[in-house]
Amino acid sequence: MTIKQFPGKSPKCRGFRTSASARRGWLLLGPVVLTFGCIETGKLAVSNDYQYLDDTDNSPVDLDYDGFYSDEDCDDTNPAIYPGAYEVSDGVDNDCDGTIDEVIVCKDGTGKYPEIQDAIDNEPADATIEVCPGTYNEDLQIKTKGLTIKSTGGAASTTISGSGTGSTWVVENSASQVTIDGFTIINGKDNGYGGGGLRCTNSIVSIQNNSFSNNSSTTYGGGAMFNACSGDVSGNEFAFNTALDGGGLAVGGDWLEVDSNNIHHNDSTTTVDYGGGGGLYLSGNSTIADNEFVNNTTQASGGGIYVNQG
């Protein structure tokens, strides 16, 4: 006679969708084999060197004993992978949310990092960094590598406040796309290079659903400056920013699409005739479409938009 034990880990019948037909106890399978553990009407099956009972109606099972059944567990052969698991940068969707290698930044210490720059510096190229709501007092730099950085609560609840001694965001020389999505960006003041809230140079970017406000520049782009950057700037608000040229934002180059932004109450402080652009300063042939310009001002030319084709 052979006695085999089902390797369940908890009082419930693990490995089954339990039903009225399930019970725990001894089961006689044929004339000589006894199995102890979860018993459910169905057929005997063998998987991964253990025995379990599988309903004939293909009910979900929990093969890796992590407490999640196969209808919600994206890898039911690995107990370290399940909905809500800790996400690590290993090329695998550990938490079954459909996104690979996202990491969490939370000021209260509940995420992997307490500060955004820590995640930027330590995560690999093309990682996704999700940021919890709160105010982060940081000047941020992304250089050479692509990343997706997005807030979990949107711009209304997630603020990045610069130090006032440089651009709040700097994106430089990123060969793959940098996405910044869902932040309020304030208190940036450039150090002579342009772009109080954001300075983008020689990079591929997607800047979406952000609010740039109360940033300033002594040169170009109070809210943001894009110099030889490609990609899109869409669904953002640029408000109450100031700069010599391009109070709201300044765009130089031929490859950026600026669309569906709300650009209002920005100011260009230049007094010379060949500058201005309270809302937007444009040099080059980038695409500007479906934006709203309201109450932008300048002492020179183009309260809403100044286009420099020279």
Check residue 111 and report its DSSP letter.
S
pLDDT digit string (tens) for 176-230?
899 999 999 999 999 899 999 999 999 999 999 999 999 999 999 999 999 999 9
**What is d(CA 128, CA 150) in angstroms, rounded to the nearest whole number?**
8
Percentage of the chain modeled with pLDDT above 90: 58
Between vectors from CA 19 to CA 13 and to CA 21, what angle results, nearest 5°?
A: 95
Tokens of 13: 């019948």
Section 160-165 average pLDDT: 96
**What is d(CA 49, CA 42) in angstroms, rounded to the nearest whole number?**
19
N- to C-terminal Cα distance for the chain?
A: 94
pLDDT digit string (tens) for 35-81?
344 444 343 443 343 344 444 557 888 888 888 888 888 888 898 88
Residue closest to 188 by CA, chosen among 179, 200, 172, 178: 200
pLDDT digit string (tens) for 16-35?
333 333 333 333 344 333 33
Between vectors from CA 129 to CA 123 and to CA 133, what angle results, nearest 5°?
A: 140
**What is d(CA 278, CA 250) in angstroms, rounded to the nearest whole number?**
10
The pTM assigned to this predicted structure is 0.72
pLDDT digit string (tens) for 109-136?
989 999 999 999 999 998 999 999 999 9
Q: For the chain, give the longest Cα–Cα distance.
A: 100
